[in-house]
Amino acid sequence: MFSIAGDLQVRRIGYGGMSLTGAGGWGEPPDHTAAKTLLRRAVDLGIQLFDTADSYGPEVSERMLAEALYPYPDGVVIATKGGSVRTGPWELHPDGRPAHLRETCESSLRRLRLERIDLYQLHGVDSAVPLQESVGALADLQAEGKVRHIGLSNVGVDAIEAARKLVPIVSVQNEFNVGERRSEDEVIDLCQREGIAYLPWRPVGKGSLSRSRGALGRIAARHGATAAQVALAWLLARSPVIVPIPGTLSSAHLEENVAALDLALTPEDLAQLSQYRLSQLDARQLARQFVPPRLRRVAVTALRTMRRSSG
């Protein structure tokens, strides 16, 4: 268990709500009934932290959560984000203007059927708006009772420290997984030192870490587990403040994700994973780096076909 801000007690596997939309965070999920059934199953399995954003869909993910779970069971924590605008699949743009943050927060309250949002997170830093103004807007919403706690997403240490001078920051949500670590050690160390929840998004690499290959595959076979479970267990072992939020529309994967809480990696396992990285030929990573958002789905398919042909 982890206690966010000392008063939101959650199990250390949550649920990432971008999966409740169409491809690239755009539009409706393929099967509404199945998605709502899966969310209720997540509660049955003990998941407590549900993370979403107004830009997922946009608006779709928040609406689906409310339709499936309201009235929310005791112990369920709803976290959402504002400060970005989605204009199409894989197309997300920052908007940290105070007026926009107020509008999106109040809209999220209505869609989620809440009087107060447990955890409201700035979705990213808008270079066109001083961070102090964006965070100040969240502080105003908190003072008005519309937000219980404030978090940040897609930020580095400097932004976290600057925000903490204005308001208590209780969570940080950045991309982080065993194959895509970037320069997160400093951020995670800060979070652990200050008791700030660290919520890694894309904790199994958008599915790229669910394939049994290399050290992941060998360790998974040794434990009778899946590669995705090993990837999640590595995150849980990395720091006690880490609460992964994998998303899925598969009931089987949902159950596997929760079962990762019981997978204890050995020191030998962790040593083998210490140097693990995604292949430089990973299709999704290449597409994200070099291909315009609207063409990424086609590019991923083409790259994977090329790899199979060459292998």
**For 118-170, what is each residue's pLDDT tens digit?**
999 999 999 999 999 999 999 999 999 999 999 999 999 999 999 999 999 99
Q: Which residue has the tokens 């393929």?
A: 30
Q: What is the pLDDT of residue 311?
A: 37
| CA quadruple 256, 258, 264, 265: dihedral sign | positive
- CA nearest 65: which of 152, 57, 154? 57
**Which residues participate in catalysis according to the annotation?**
56
Cβ(188)–Cβ(157) under 8 Å? no
User: What whole-number distance in Å separates Cα of residue 62 and Cα of residue 66?
Assistant: 6
- The pair phi, psi for residue 88, each rounded to 5°, is 170, 180
Taking CA atoms, 90 is separated from 20, 50, 93, 130, 296, in Å, by 14, 21, 10, 25, 8
Q: What is the pLDDT of residue 160?
A: 98
Q: What is the pLDDT of residue 282?
A: 53
With a cut of 50, which residues of the chain have pLDDT below it? 280-281, 304, 306-311
- How many other CB atoms sit within 10 Å of the CB of residue 108? 23
Q: What is the pLDDT of residue 285?
A: 57
User: What whole-number distance in Å separates Cα of residue 311 and Cα of residue 304?
Assistant: 10
How confident is the model over 230-252, as pLDDT tens digits?
999 999 999 999 999 999 999 99
pTM (predicted TM-score): 0.90
